[in-house]
Structure 1
Amino acid sequence: MTRQSIRNEGEPAEVAFSKALGEKVKPSDDSRKGDRLFFHQGQWHYVEIKHCESNTVNQVRAIKCTPLVVFSPDKGKRCWAVLSARLVAKLVANKRRGQHTEIPFECANLTRSSLHDQVWCTDTELDQRLQAALDDPLNGPIKSVMNELLAEIKSLCDKYRKRLKSLFSIW
């Protein structure tokens, strides 16, 4: 099978997600925030969706603080894993480094085998599981921590960018 571009690798999962949830789902208006929008309690919420047929779930971004839905069609009827922002943050917090950087909250990988059996569900359970993930009472506090972390990362980046640019001007 020819490898798809990274941007389109998750498309089969996104299509299956939309099919399973119908009118409660629409395409994202900002792919940086999530792959699809899910309607819950009068609002549209971003959801990150990953297609995974190996053991590795790539590019998990806990810093986004959005629910993560993993689609694994090879798992049979229980082909969906729904992880709340809390569970994503908890799993990523145990990592010493990220997938591409030293900061795991920016981008990490997870393994399907590390996902507890309780997170896996069928098409018919997907809606309820996603609602529960969005209703998690720790979403607000976790989002605050992640926003603070992101602000600090950006501040550090600016600080060191300026220092490096000053070095470059010497040479």
Structure 2
Amino acid sequence: MSTNPIALLVSNDYIEIQATLQAIKQCLTLSIMLEVLDEDQTAGLPIPIPEMDGETLAKIMQWCEHHRGDSIPDPNEWRTATASNQTQEITKWDTEFLNIDRELLFKLTNGANYLEIPLLLQYAVLTVALKLEDMSSKRMCEFLNVENDFTPEQELQTRKEYAWANQQ
């Protein structure tokens, strides 16, 4: 018998991802769900994750497996720490893990938020912020896929009003 019981997660594109229950407990949403549903009675049943594609879910569970032995923060504590900008330094492994393309990084951030994985969410948001750090406002808009809906006149007026923001 396995010392780490395995759960089966199913993404919205029907990709099946196996994960240890210890790793799943990094996801506050799934951890609470397993507590409420009694994990002994639900053992072996697939857990649908309807808001996530297989690639993203696999990447998130890779992170959870790596961190499965880490302590799991109290939901109220991590929300307070996040709101007050108390961030932890990103480890080398996590930095390399998050060195991914923009689209997957955003999916991972949304997935960490959806599944309530505090440390992964914090690291992913910090990674996005670090990528934006030295970008011009125009480049930031491109990176974040933000459309400019100003008329040329409105844009000129805004640039005049906030000239301090465009100094590089």
Bin for the TM-score computed over the shorter chain: under 0.3
Normalized per residue, the structure richer in strand is: 1
Higher relative contact order (CA 8 A, sep 6+): 2
Q: TM-score, normalised by structure 2?
A: 0.26
Larger Rg: 2
